[in-house]
Amino acid sequence: MTAAPVGADWLAARLGHEGVVVLDASVGANRRKGPWIPGALVFDIDGEMSDAASDIPHTMPSDAQFTERVRGLGVRSADQVVVYDTVGIYSSARAWWMLRAAGFEQVAVLDGGLPAWRAAGGAVSGTPAEPPARAGDFTARVSPGAFLGRDDVRRALGSPGVRVLDARSRGRFAGTEPEPRAGLRGGHMPGAVNLPFGELQDGEGRMLPGARLRARFDELAGGAQQLVVSCGSGVTACVLALGAEVAGYGERVAVYDGSWSEWGLEGAGTPVVTGEA
């Protein structure tokens, strides 16, 4: 499987084949509204695919929790999984990262998501598929360092070999736009660099070609031994992780799971600066 996202034609040629699993990983206002790619199952990042015990949204579940929930979708270790969302490439990258981090290698993102699928003439369904009665056999083992906590990021910000990339909009990064979640300060981590996730895509929600992604990452992070990607709640940070993978930086990437929902909390005691960087 190539690191690049797969196109609608690629999926159309395999849809319905034994061992091909399609997951709708849409979040927020885009979640569960449909339509769905035929046979698609719901990968609910707003719900069961996040740790309900955490005060921070979209936190990665424990290995045991994630194993149970992915098995509940019938996913088996030998399957080919394709994840998509209704926007383009937005929350699908989060599902891709979660599965990859947990040791599931055969997972790809549908380039352009549901809009690209429909534009290519792909059929749609009014309802998602029901999980099969047969449980899956996948066992999650999250790689150490795939997700970082607040203290890890504190240390990373002081390391000359690490670059922290923030996927939020330029206004939120600078502190000139309000945060969508209550109780969060505006601004960014000192030393972080802004790379809005949409800048890695064309105007139709597809990832840019590998050479252009490589040039962008070289410009912002060339020479860094590690990249830490962050956003509002750990979702669009994974678009940066996907772009880094395509650009050849994949082995160096870690996702700050709490992202700004943790770092930016009022009273958190974490340093915040405003203005462009």
Domains defined along the chain, listed by start: 8-119 (3.40.250.10), 147-263 (3.40.250.10)
Tokens of 71: 């098995």
What's the pLDDT tens digit per position in 150-175?
999 999 998 999 999 999 999 999 99
Sort strands 41-42 and 20-24 into parallel, antiparallel or unpaired. parallel
pLDDT of residue 31: 73
What's the pLDDT tens digit per position in 25-58?
999 877 767 799 999 999 999 999 999 999 999 9
Catalytic residue among 11, 25, 231, 244: 231
pLDDT of residue 253: 96
What's the pLDDT tens digit per position in 234-245?
999 999 999 999
Q: Can you tell me the distance from the alpha carbon of 207 to that of 239, in angstroms, rounded to the nearest whole number?
A: 9
Tokens of 53: 């015990």
The candidate with the shortest Cα–Cα distance to 140, out of 61, 84, 73, is 61
pLDDT of residue 33: 75
> Does 238 participate in catalysis according to the annotation?
no
The residue-averaged pLDDT of 177-184 equals 94
What is the pTM assigned to this prediction? Answer: 0.96
Whether the pLDDT of residue 120 is over 90: the answer is yes
Other Cβ atoms within 10 Å of 265 Cβ, number: 18
What's the pLDDT tens digit per position in 66-102?
999 999 999 999 999 999 999 999 999 999 999 999 9
Q: Counting beta carbons within 10 angstroms of the beta carbon of residue 252, is it exposed (0 to 12), middle (13 to 18) or buried (19 or more)?
A: middle
Name the β-bridge partners of 60. none
pLDDT of residue 227: 97
Other Cβ atoms within 10 Å of 242 Cβ, number: 28
The residue-averaged pLDDT of 183-195 equals 97
Instruction: Return the beta strands (E) in 101-186 as ranges.
Output: 107-109, 147-148, 162-166
